[in-house]
Amino acid sequence: MQGFIDHARTFRRRAAQDGHTLRHLAEGQSPQALFITCSDSRIIPSAVTGAKPGDLFEMRTAGNIVPPHRPSAPSAEAATIEYAVEVLGVADIVVCGHSHCGAVGAVVRGEDLTGLPSVRDWLADGTALTTGGEASHDLATPVQRHVLDQLEKLHTHPSVARRVREGRLGLHGWFYEVHTGAVLTHRPDSDVFLPL
Ligand SMILES: [Zn+2]
- How does pLDDT run across 104-119, given as a tens digit for each residue? 999 999 999 999 999 9
19 CA to centre of ligand 1 in angstroms = 34
**What is the mean pLDDT of the segment spanning 24-49?**
97
71 CA to centre of ligand 1 in angstroms = 27
20 CA to centre of ligand 1 in angstroms = 31
Domain membership of residue 162 (yes or no) is: yes
Neighbours of ion ligand 1 (CB under 5 A): 38, 40, 101, 103
State residue 135's pLDDT score: 67
State residue 131's pLDDT score: 85
Question: What is the rounded distance in angstroms from the CA atom of residue 172 to the CA atom of residue 35?
Answer: 10
16 CA to centre of ligand 1 in angstroms = 34
Domain membership of residue 1 (yes or no) is: no
Residue 132 φ/ψ, nearest 5 degrees: 95, -165
CATH code of 188's domain: 3.40.1050.10
Q: Is the pLDDT of residue 92 over 70?
A: yes
Question: What is the rounded distance in angstroms from the CA atom of residue 170 to the CA atom of residue 113?
Answer: 35
- Kindly list the distances between the CA atom of residue 150 and the CA atoms of 7, 53, 93, 172, 180, in Å, as whole numbers in the listed order: 35, 26, 11, 11, 24
State residue 21's pLDDT score: 77
Domain membership of residue 9 (yes or no) is: no
State residue 136's pLDDT score: 82
pLDDT band at 128 (very low <50, low <70, confident <90, very high): confident
18 CA to centre of ligand 1 in angstroms = 32
Domain membership of residue 129 (yes or no) is: yes
State residue 132's pLDDT score: 76
Of 155, 170, 156, 160, nearest to 86 (Cα)? 160
74 CA to centre of ligand 1 in angstroms = 24
Looking at the 3D structure of the chain, how many domains does it have? 1
Domain with 58, as residue range(s), is 29-195
62 CA to centre of ligand 1 in angstroms = 6
17 CA to centre of ligand 1 in angstroms = 35
Question: What is the rounded distance in angstroms from the CA atom of residue 97 to the CA atom of residue 77?
Answer: 16
State residue 161's pLDDT score: 98
List of residues 6+ apart from 127 with CB closer than 8 A: 63, 65, 103, 104, 107, 146, 149
Sheet with 183-187, strands from edge to edge, namely 56-61, 33-38, 92-98, 170-176, 183-187, 192-195
179 CA to centre of ligand 1 in angstroms = 13
Summary mean pLDDT of the chain: 95
Domain membership of residue 5 (yes or no) is: no
Q: Is the pLDDT of residue 184 over 90?
A: yes
Sequence letter at residue 109: R
135 or 162, higher pLDDT = 162
pLDDT band at 186 (very low <50, low <70, confident <90, very high): very high
**What is the mean pLDDT of the segment spanning 62-71?**
96
